[in-house]
A and B are shown apart, each in its own frame.
Chain A
Amino acid sequence: DAKTTQPPSMDCAEGRAANLPCNHSTISGNEYVYWYRQIHSQGPQYIIHGLKNNETNEMASLIITEDRKSSTLILPHATLRDTAVYYCIVKGAQKLVFGQGTRLTINP
């Protein structure tokens, strides 16, 4: 499975859009990009995933570049409850491999 690179931490003001980048330059054609988040010490929570088209659901939007080497998770109106560690994962084979993620802090 391809490796991902994320900034270790980011800050965002409450009510603004939070844009979390992820690089996955070695992604192959059949690998999906998944995003999960972990709030405090709870179990990770699924956010969204995509293959090559942009995706949107009730939680977030996922923008994947045309060459698929990077993606951005967008939380359109961040709230304090969105403070968490966000994991970008490229998944082809069965198992999901987590990196260290981005610690996103939403500031009032």
Chain B
Amino acid sequence: NAGVTQTPKFQVLKTGQSMTLQCAQDMNHNSMYWYRQDPGMGLRLIYYSASEGTTDKGEVPNGYNVSRLNKREFSLRLESAAPSQTSVYFCACSQGPNEKLFFGSGTQLSVL
């Protein structure tokens, strides 16, 4: 089992470009999450999906959109990238709301 798989691992964008970060889990978990982590900081929640077909905003949703494509996949889209979105992005999943989270290995994104 791979657990939580994120693609790509690294990405460089120019300001204004768009891209989608992909996340897939093979743990059959109901809930999925997207976090960002800026240098020297803790993780901040961008969006989460409690179950297939639902999505909700986290602490820092501005500039992002998400899609819960099915139970396995939860994508994060940047429509018009900005330098302030330079960060490491982590996807996570959990069986339910009070269950432990399992994280992917992250996507390092640089916006120039």
Distance of A102 from chain B, by nearest CB (Å): 11
Docked pose: A93 CA to B42 CA in angstroms: 19
- The verdict on A10 contacting chain B, using a C-beta distance below 8 Å, is no
Distance of A51 from chain B, by nearest CB (Å): 10
Chain A residue at minimum C-beta to C-beta distance from B59: A97
The answer to whether B43 and A44 touch across the interface, beta carbons within 8 angstroms, is yes
Partner of A44, one of B40, B45, B103: B103
Docked pose: A60 CA to B67 CA in angstroms: 36
Q: Which of B69-77, B78-86, B92-100 contacts A (4 or more CB under 8 A)?
A: B92-100
Rank and list the top 4 A-B pairs by shortest CB-CB distance, nearest first.
A43-B103, A98-B42, A46-B100, A98-B43
Q: Please, which residues of chain B bring their CB within 8 A of the CB of A43?
A: 4, 90, 92, 103-106
Interface bits B28-48 vs A (CB < 8 Å: 1, else 0): 000101010000111111001
Interface bits A38-52 vs B (CB < 8 Å: 1, else 0): 000111111001000
Docked pose: A67 CA to B97 CA in angstroms: 24
Chain B residue at minimum C-beta to C-beta distance from A49: B100
Question: How many B residues have CB within 8 A of the partner chain?
Answer: 27
Chain B residue at minimum C-beta to C-beta distance from A92: B98
Q: Please, which residues of chain B bring their CB within 8 A of the CB of A91?
A: 98
Q: Please, which residues of chain B bring their CB within 8 A of the CB of A34?
A: 100
Known: A41-B88, A44-B90, A100-B41. A94 touches B97 (CB 8 A): yes
Distance of B9 from chain A, by nearest CB (Å): 11
Q: Please, which residues of chain A bring their CB within 8 A of the CB of B90?
A: 43-44
Docked pose: A45 CA to B31 CA in angstroms: 17
Partner of B102, one of A46, A49, A98: A46
Pull 18 A–B residue pairs with CB atoms less than 8 Å apart, ordered by A: A41-B88, A43-B4, A43-B103, A43-B106, A44-B103, A46-B101, A49-B100, A87-B42, A93-B97, A94-B31, A94-B48, A95-B48, A95-B58, A96-B45, A98-B42, A99-B42, A100-B41, A101-B42
